Amino acid sequence: MNADIIGGLLLVLVVLQIPVWWKIAALQRRIRQYDAELQMLKNDMRAVCDGSISIEEYKLSTEQQLRRLAERQDQTDFREPVSPTYNHAIKLVQKGVSIDELMAVCGLVRGEAELLMRLHRLN
């Protein structure tokens, strides 16, 4: 009879454990889902960080290029002599040519010719 009672108790214990095992299995499935989602989020975050780094590197590179271009422009502005056309036009103005002649000979627009006349005409 003791064996029957022990067997019955074991059966009751097993039956009571079934919902617990069921709940544990459900929780394990949820944990696997959360782990998969977490891994996807980590991958997404890594991609965002990599993209951000690439953008920052591109920005720095572009800023450096812009700085170099500005420096070259400054250097060019200081080194570049006055155009031979303007030198010739200045000499013509000093000789007393008319504004129309100056425009025709040097290929200047009226505004340029007028400015040269005002700056370099000998009175």
Which tens digit of pLDDT belongs to each residue from 43-52? 999 999 888 8
pLDDT recorded at residue 3: 82
Sorting pLDDT into bands at 50, 70 and 90, what band is 77?
low
Question: Which pLDDT does position 2 carry in this prediction?
Answer: 83
Q: Report the share of the chain in percent with pLDDT over 90.
A: 50
Mean pLDDT of 9-30: 90
Chain Cα centroid distance, residue 3: 79
More confident site: 78 or 19? 19
* 78 pLDDT higher than 70: no
What DSSP letter does each residue of the chain carry, written as one string? Answer: -HHHHHHHHHHHHHHHHHHHHHHHHHHHHHHHHHHHHHHHHHHHHHHHHHHHHHHHHHHHHHHHHHHHHHHHHHHHHHHPPPPHHHHHHHHHHHHT--HHHHHHHHT--HHHHHHHHHHH---
CB 67 within 8 A of CB 81: no
